Amino acid sequence: MAFTGWASDYVNLVLAVGRHDANFVDAYYGPEAWKVGAEAGAPRPLNALEAEAQRLLEGVAACEAPADEVLRRDYLLGQLGAVAAHLARLQGHRFTFADEAEALYQVRPSRIPEASLESALARLDQLLEGAGSVQDRYQQARKRILVPANRVDAVFQAAIAEARERTRRHTVLPTSDHFRVEYVTGKAWSAYNWYQGGGTSVIQVNLDLPIAIDRALDLAAHEGYPGHHVYNALLEQRFALAPPEGRGWVEFTVYPLFSPQSLIAEGTANFGIEVAFPGEDRVAFERDVLFPRAGLDPAEAERWARVQTEMKVLAFADNEAARGYLDGYLDRADAEAFLVRYSLRTEAQAAQRLRFIDTYRSYVINYNLGEQLVRDWVERQGGTVADPDRRWAIFVDLISSPRLPKALGL
Ligand SMILES: [Zn+2]
């Protein structure tokens, strides 16, 4: 019981910070009265909130943790540290890209040498047929797998149904488990999962730019099963709910976006795609089910899968674009050009990514570095491709635990 008071104060602090930054509170399903309280009157001043974060950090650090609550204490300390850093940011403190990532997500992203991006580009140059630059040929290939607008929902629903079915074989989801898709425009992200509590999520898909067919499984698995939706639902079920179902750990009813929890959330959501649809399995499902449903030529599925393997390396280009842009040695146009060159985005896609970086800044590391760190951790526990059942078990254990990046023993 030692942490209950601190945990309640932490939740109220996160809600109070949310008054200053509309992107901060990603999910909240704790006591309604706390939300009402946080929204009443004028926002509490930032320096008072920073002092409160320090008080909680010292209080939690001084608490004796029983053996089964050590991870819980480390979770609270990690989350509170990030709240304090975010408050410093809101008061005008400028972190470098790497310092900010470390303060918020507990990981210091090392620089990706341009040579490793160049060698992935060279392999893609071999793989992509036709004339023109590698960027042009990538975009031409991608045009062949765009889903016609009137088939997007049918393709997504098929992907979600399969991802859900596969996830249910390996974990017990709440009986109220439910996941609703909405289509929106004018957002800085391409899709977003809004966890509502009670085992339900609303996932929004941004239709500003055309949807390529590989987005279907990315969306179904990353946002849904076994990604964000399942992560949130398992934390609620296992920790947030009152005993006997859960443990009554109220800190899990709130999810501050700029916190180490996000590296675990994005890393497991990305790696979860591979856990649910490993290698050839993914190709087969896309080729046999999704491509026909989209009215696309299934012969493209295997070719595109090989291209996507190389794109995993180029995913790290986002970190270097964000680092250069935020640390001031790339201007906006340079950073967009960097993304066009190394992540093969169109100019419109690069501009959308820059808008994402404007808002979410070093958060971009959570996708690529998060995925790598989660994969390494799962494989170190024996959850390798060769042992899919163990891979699922270790993965499910991670998404239903309070572990933060530090607890992955990096
Ligand atoms: Zn995500």
- Compute the distance from residue 265 Cα to the ligand 1 centre, in Å: 7
Span 141-161, pLDDT tens digits: 999 999 999 999 999 999 999
CA distance 311 to 298: 20
Query: Residue 303 Cα, ligand 1 centroid: separation in angstroms?
Result: 26
Q: Is the overall model pTM greater than 0.85, yes or no?
A: yes
Confidence of residue 408 (pLDDT cuts 50, 70, 90): confident
CB atoms within 10 A of CB 245: 13
Residue 158 structure tokens: 């098929």
Percentage, residues of the chain above pLDDT 90: 92
Distances (CA, A) of 337 to 129, 134, 136, 343: 23, 14, 14, 10
CA of 293 to the centre of ligand 1 (A): 25
Measured in angstroms, how far is the CA atom of residue 256 from the centroid of ligand 1?
14
Would you call the peptide bond into 244 cis, given omega within 30 degrees of 0 as the criterion? yes
pLDDT tens readout for residues 6-64: 999 999 999 999 999 999 999 999 999 999 999 999 999 999 999 999 999 999 999 98
What is the distance in A from the centroid of ligand 1 to the CA of 47?
A: 31
- In this prediction, residue 279 carries a pLDDT of 87
Which residue has 């985005």 as its token pair? 345
Tell me how far the alpha carbon of residue 366 lies from the centroid of ligand 1, in angstroms: 9
* Token duo for residue 142: 């991608």
Burial letters for 173-207: b for 16+ Cβ neighbours within 10 Å, e otherwise?
Answer: bbeebebebeeeeebbebbbbbbbbebbbebbbbe
DSSP structure string for 290-353: IHHHHT--TTHHHHHHHHHHHHHHHTTHHHHHHHHHHHTSS-HHHHHHHHHHHS---HHHHHHH
Predicted local distance difference test score (pLDDT) of residue 100: 98
What separation in Å is there between the alpha carbon of 88 and the centre of ligand 1? 25
With beta carbons less than 8 A apart as the criterion, state whether 410 and 260 touch: no
Cα of 65 from ligand 1 centre, angstroms: 31
Q: What DSSP state is assigned to residue 248?
A: -
Asked if residues 192 and 224 have their Cβ atoms less than 8 Å apart, the reply is no
Per cent of the chain over pLDDT 70 is 100
Query: From ligand 1's centre to the CA of 130, what distance in Å?
Result: 34
pLDDT number for residue 188:
80
Rounded distance between C-alpha atoms, residue 401 and residue 182, angstroms: 29
pLDDT in tens, 358-380: 999 999 999 999 999 999 999 99
pLDDT value for 210? 87
- What distance in angstroms lies between residue 83's CA and the mean position of ligand 1's atoms? 20
- Please state, rounded to an integer, the average pLDDT across all residues of the chain: 95
214: left (phi over 0), alpha (psi -120 to 50) or beta: alpha
Whole-number Å distance, alpha carbon 42 to ligand 1 midpoint, is: 32
C-alpha of 283 from chain center: 23
Return the CA Rg of the chain.
Answer: 21
Distance 222 CA to ligand 1 centre (A): 6
Q: Which residue ranges make up each domain of the chain?
A: 4-93, 114-408
Query: So what's the pLDDT on residue 189?
Result: 87
**Ligand 1 centre distance from Cα of residue 206 (Å):** 13
Cα of 129 to ligand 1 centre, how many Å? 32
* Rounded Cα–Cα distance for residues 348 and 333 (Å): 12
Q: What is the pLDDT of residues 164-177, one digit of tens each?
A: 999 999 999 999 99
CB-CB contact of 383 with 408 (8 Å): no
How many Å lie between the centroid of ligand 1 and the Cα of residue 126? 31
Q: Report how far ligand 1's centroid is from the alpha carbon of 19 (Å).
A: 23
**Side-chain half-sphere of 362: how many Cα atoms within 13 Å?**
28
In a 13 Å sphere around the CA of 251, the CA atoms on its Cβ side amount to: 24
Contact residues for 315 (Cβ-Cβ < 8 A; gap 6+): 343, 367, 368
Ligand 1 centre distance from Cα of residue 24 (Å): 15
61 C-alpha to ligand 1 centroid (Å): 30
User: Residue type for 87, please?
Assistant: L
Q: How far is the CA of 345 from the centre of ligand 1 (A)?
A: 19
Ligand 1 center to 154 CA (angstroms): 22
Rounded distance from Cα 191 to ligand 1 centre (Å): 8
- How many angstroms separate the alpha carbon of residue 324 from the centre of ligand 1? 23
